[in-house]
Amino acid sequence: MASLSLSSVRKNYGALPVIKGVDLSIEHGEFVVFVGPSGCGKSTLLRMIAGLEEITSGKLLIGSKLCNDMEPRDRGIAMVFQSYALYPHLSVYDNVGFGLKLAKTPKDVRDRKIREAARVLKMEHLLDRKPGQLSGGQRQRVAIGRAIVRQPEVFLFDEPLSNLDAALRVDMRMEIAKLHKELGATMIYVTHDQVEAMTLADKIVVLDGGVVQQVGAPIELYQRPANLFVAGFIGSPKMNFTPVRVDAVNGNRVAVSGEDVINLTVEADPSNVSPGDTMTLGVRPHDLAPNQAGSIVARVGLVERLGNETIVSLELVSGTNWLVVLDGDRPLARGETLALGADPAKAILFDAAGKSVTRRS
């Protein structure tokens, strides 16, 4: 096991920068998830750590070794690919043992390690099969088994679950979490699925446009997003936004109003806010509740009744569309007018640059 650190790591394809200076440190045994929309550079960053892509500039340290120019096999890493990348002509046994064979590990040691990995992943009965005879979930296990036998200091996962169907994905997610606990290894996991990120990670790294947007624990990102991008990306359904103006600042309480919002008080860091500023208000769908005295008035659009909760789409005064998630079953009618209150402790203000001015501890 090892810690890992990146400092000012950059990657250019010719003149085109794709990773624009990433600083990151990952502790021993941590489960870190890189998340972001497609094209944000998360896979490239992972592949740079693996050694499959050159690092244009900056430093990559695994443990205390500078790894920029090191061959992948010397970095102490193992990787699980999105496509599994199992060798079609080899049996499961040989797939798992391929790396050991290349490293000229003695046959008995190799056999022991392969069988141990198979036991951990409960796939002893699959060892004689070829990848073509396996289901998606089984292939995934083999791919993970191939990583385990290398006993790497760092595991790298590149969207490992995105080729599985929804039910299987939940199972495999739990398996991976369990594996992390058992092995206690450092794991870096790339996904575009924020639910995977939230459930698996000790630490999430949100990337967009080749730049790290925010690093933190899942709940921290949910409750205190650093900017509009993170706020919109983490959480499902998405956070609602609307433009507002600052009316008054009173200690760490800020009064705002706008076309869609009548007199709402929100917590914010007073040093970054002054009356008259134009800002963006963000409220999560779960943090709104019907309230006759509420500061938001909207017309009900589509109503999705799920039984345990009701998802309502709303059209605000300005024409902006919001979603609200209400507890229990609420038989609302389309076109009905609804007044809502926002939880002042959970609403967030963003400045004109999109940065959060709300700080809570």
Nearer to other proteins, 87 or 278 (CB): 87
Nearer to other proteins, 16 or 102 (CB): 102
Q: Do residues 278 and 352 lie in contact, with contact meaning Cβ atoms separated by under 8 Å?
A: yes
**What CA–CA distance (Å, rounded) separates 286 from 321?**
15
The yes or no reply on residue 14 touching other proteins (CB under 8 A) is: no
The yes or no reply on residue 2 touching other proteins (CB under 8 A) is: no
Residue given tokens 């949910």 in the structure block: 222
Q: How far is the CB of 145 from other proteins (least distance, A)?
A: 12
**What CA–CA distance (Å, rounded) separates 39 from 35?**
11
Pick the stretch among 77-85, 133-141, 182-190, 247-255 that binds other proteins (CB under 8 A): 77-85
Q: How far is the CB of 10 from other proteins (least distance, A)?
A: 13
Q: Report 167-206 residues binding other proteins (CB under 8 A).
A: none
DSSP letter for 239, please.
Answer: P
Q: How far is the CB of 103 from other proteins (least distance, A)?
A: 6
Tell which phi-psi region holds residue 111, choosing left (phi > 0), alpha (psi between -120 and 50) or beta. Answer: alpha
Q: Report 22-61 residues binding other proteins (CB under 8 A).
A: 50-52, 54-55
The yes or no reply on residue 164 touching other proteins (CB under 8 A) is: no
Residue 204 to residues 200, 306, 348, Cα–Cα distance (Å): 9, 30, 20
The yes or no reply on residue 12 touching other proteins (CB under 8 A) is: no
Q: How far is the CB of 19 from other proteins (least distance, A)?
A: 16
- DSSP SS3 for 157: strand
The sheet with strand 77-80 has its strands ordered as 77-80, 154-158, 186-191, 31-35, 203-208, 211-216
The yes or no reply on residue 333 touching other proteins (CB under 8 A) is: no
**What CA–CA distance (Å, rounded) separates 256 from 45?**
40
Pick the stretch among 9-17, 76-84, 190-198, 202-210 that binds other proteins (CB under 8 A): 76-84
Q: How many of the chain's residues bind other proteins (CB under 8 A)?
A: 27
Q: Report 101-160 residues binding other proteins (CB under 8 A).
A: 102-103, 146, 150
**What CA–CA distance (Å, rounded) separates 335 from 315?**
9
Nearest of 175, 160, 190 to residue 36 by alpha carbon: 190
The yes or no reply on residue 87 touching other proteins (CB under 8 A) is: yes
Judged by the rule CB under 8 A, the positions of this chain that interact with other proteins are: 50-52, 54-55, 68-69, 71-73, 77-79, 81-83, 85-89, 98-99, 102-103, 146, 150
